[in-house]
Amino acid sequence: MGKKIIIDPITRIEGHLRIEVEIENGRVKDAWTSGQMFRGIEMMLQGRDPRDAHHFVQRSCGVCTYIHALSSVRAVEDACKIEIPENARIIRNLLHGAQYQHDHIVHFYHLHALDWVDIVSGLSADPVKTAKLSENVSGRPQTADYFREVQAKLSTFVNSGQLGPFNNAYWGHSAYKLPAEANLMASSHYLEAIKLQAKAARMHAIFGGKNPHPQSLVVGGVTCVGDLTPERIDEFTGIWKETKAFVDEVYIPDILAVASFYKDWAAIGGNNKTYLCYGDFPQQGINDDLLMPGGVLMGDLNPIPVDTNRITEDVTRAWYERGEAKHPYEGETKPIQGEVTYNTNDQYSWMKAPRYDGKSAEVGPLARNLVAYTSGQKEVKVLVDHVLKTLGVGVDALFSTLGRTAARGIETVVVGNAMGGWIDTLKSNISSGDKKTYQPWEMPDKARGFGLNDVPRGALGHWINIEGGKIKNYQYVVPSTWNLGPSDGKNQKGPVENSLIGTPIADPKQPLEILRTVHSYDPCIACAVHVIDPHTNETYKVRVI
């Protein structure tokens, strides 16, 4: 039996996640992912007015706020057969696109970059050489004096110990490969992204009223008709342009620059199983002509349409009352009463195990890129081919931790470009006098429906049963549950568990390599689970900062 290590908690994510792995001969032999909180929001919704559901579900998390509200109103609209006006569709797309622009930048620089970038190494870089590298790589080159200023800031952070990510990490780890100058350049962009993400978040506030938890979504459309003025649209457009420029000039060049030093990771962290995405950003109706198409890849590169009737959730290895795998319409949220026991041979997580046609499925940017690429989405295909050619790797490199990270950047460009067209259409509608953003409707006595949404972290679905005009049952299956769920009754592991197996580990006491793959999925455990379980059962424990 190999050595077991436990990383608890995993940081630079949203929520509480525990990873346990078994290492043998320097590689991960087995892995277990455990959500350490319980989510009970579905239970709170029973008996409430369906029109209020989106206010509750978007508070599953402080990050994934708008997207839960969007899935929720779509579920009620599906149940009540509501077709929203074109302006409402456009505004929803713009708010959703803003989420992509904000989340993917934050993920790469503030959650994932420190797995590849050695901040402390940048202190020894030559600012002149860094400026030359910036000129060759970045679309926004900086001077040697600028990088000297960045070094001074970093030195202050590192020496003071006041900024956790810079004070406690695996600096100097043998798995870091970037030269000092590349580390300094990337560190400067880390700091720039901190300022930019605050501006990008304002896009939600312009048409959503606030961020987090925008308030303008309602069943039947949106309520921000008063904000459809040239001044407010121009304000939104200005932030979008600034964010898009950062993506094109900094984010994408950084991905390519970092990836060029880590090509070995094009063969690490792959799942190579089933890939699922619902698709999103409707160009016309709710499900018509999606910018990012939906589909399922099941062991080959021939996408098939998603059949939501094939979705189930298994609770065999989760801390819920035993029962058969159920479709979300019939789903139950019945946590074990009393104390729970962490046992990787039995039950070990608060997350359920979603399955598509009985199979574990990866969701997220990689799944979306693969489905779009194989479906012939032109812009995705051009960008994917460009990345592969630039790095000198084949299509197989997509099925990896590196491919998963690159996929986020690719779709950030695609969605960002599309936002310009949506803004133009909205301006045209407003100038012609069309300001309709809401469709009146009536609540049926009995109905059921579902709302699908492909969000930055992956496929999100909400299912609602209405009886007597109230919510009888409500279930939602979130991206991190798909990706980080436990094994099921057939002992099929979840995508992250599968992806970790085979990962090389240089130092078990500093498992940087595990963090790279886990972070590539951008876990959001708060969406998946909500009441802390403090139980541990480790061989030895690594606390990651």
Catalytic residue among 72, 408, 524, 530: 524
Cα separation, 474 vs 43, whole angstroms: 8
Q: Give catalytic status of residue 213 as yes or no.
A: no
Catalytic residue among 18, 68, 104, 107: 68
CB-CB contact of 373 with 61 (8 Å): no
Catalytic residue among 42, 54, 61, 520: 61
Give the count of alpha carbons within 13 A of 342, CB side only: 19
3-state SS string over 442-507?
CCCCEEEEEEEEEECCEEEEEEEEEECCEEEEEEEECHHHHHHCCCCCCCCCCHHHHHHCCCECCC
Cα separation, 67 vs 111, whole angstroms: 20
Burial (CB < 10 A; 0-12, 13-18, 19+), residue 378, is exposed
Q: Give catalytic status of residue 224 as yes or no.
A: no
- Is residue 335 reached through a cis peptide bond, with omega within 30 degrees of 0 on the bond before it? no
Q: Give catalytic status of residue 68 as yes or no.
A: yes
Q: Give catalytic status of residue 524 as yes or no.
A: yes
Tokens of 367: 């799944």
Q: Give catalytic status of residue 64 as yes or no.
A: yes
Catalytic residue among 16, 92, 102, 457: 457
Q: Give catalytic status of residue 74 as yes or no.
A: no
Catalytic residue among 14, 20, 77, 497: 14
Catalytic residue among 22, 42, 64, 107: 64
Catalytic residue among 80, 107, 527, 530: 527
Go through 145-169 and write b for each residue having 16 or more CB atoms within 10 A of its CB, e for each that does not. eebeebbeebeebbeeeeeebbbeb
Q: Give catalytic status of residue 277 as yes or no.
A: no
Tokens of 193: 């992204």
CB-CB contact of 108 with 409 (8 Å): yes
Q: Give catalytic status of residue 527 as yes or no.
A: yes
Sort strands 280-282 and 290-292 into parallel, antiparallel or unpaired: antiparallel
Catalytic residue among 121, 480, 487, 520: 480
Quick one: DSSP state of residue 336? P
Tokens of 6: 């436990």
Cα separation, 303 vs 163, whole angstroms: 45
Q: Which residues belong to the active site?
A: 14, 61, 64, 68, 457, 480, 524, 527
